[in-house]
Amino acid sequence: MNVEKIILWTRQIGWPPSYKKCAEKKWMDLIHHALTLGIRAFDTAPIYGNGQSEILLWKALQKSPVNRKNISLITKFGMRLWKGGNNYFCFSEESIKQELQESLTRLQTNYIDVYLLHIPDEKQIDVDEVIQVLNTLKSEWQIKSYGLCNTYGWLLENFLHHPDSHIEYIEDFYNILERKAEKLIFPYLDEQKFFAYSPLYRWFLTDIHPKILLQKDEAGINRLLKHNGIKDLLIRRQILKNTAASQWISLQGLALNFLKNNSHVDKILFGTTSKEHLDEFVWYFLKK
């Protein structure tokens, strides 16, 4: 696996609390550094900072010498933000087309490489309507391909088995500790490629002590440590640490090797605020 398998996940760009702590220049430097390392794929969404992530990504990429045709932009639709700050979902043809135009404007591009349905609610969604509008947008060259993000069960089956479906990508939460995708998604995959996000489980799969992570509140670790099943997670984490120690590697190394050698995983999303962390992540995937 090489650097082409890495997607820079820009969720933290423009998303509190990270955005409040980090200046715009730092985010742009991080994206430029990713390009220097050879990373060419970037995952974002309108909901990340209410469009701020897409805007900052465009600002960074416009100053890059890398040609747009060599950049893969992944963004999403369906999960929206009220002016009051609460999330809501809308999957109508009108809403999808509106969201796409807003994303194209923020990213200053005339097409999206991968357009993902973001956390759909099966009670509110018409699969036929969504497939139809996505196929139309693809035929108009406004999107090159489309897929699903955080989709399971009945809804996943209906999208994948729809006669007019051309779903090429599935994106979901997957790492050595959280492996529900193996039962909920992998059995349904045919030609689709799988993108795994949160490879280190919000830094939980590192040798940093959870109490220190809690103090830092790094990448949502505070929410993780308040998880109802945190006791079980801590036990399983310790088992993995012992396994890593027996192999003379770090817990992070064990977690990344798991994904690196997983035949179901096509690409891996990595989100960070640090160039040093990105360097280390890339190093793991370049070494033999």
Residues recognised as catalytic: 48
d(CA 176, CA 197): 12
Instruction: Tell which residue, 86, 87, 88, 55, has the closest CA to residue 73.
Output: 55
Identity of residue 71: I
131 and 138 Cβ atoms separated by less than 8 Å? no
Angle at which helix 153-161 crosses helix 127-139, to 10 degrees, equals: 40
Q: In the structure encoding, which two tokens stand for residue 58, read together?
A: 């465009």
By CB atoms closer than 10 A (0-12, 13-18, 19+), residue 20 is: exposed
For residue 3, CA distances in Å to 36, 175, 282, 286 come to 11, 18, 6, 7
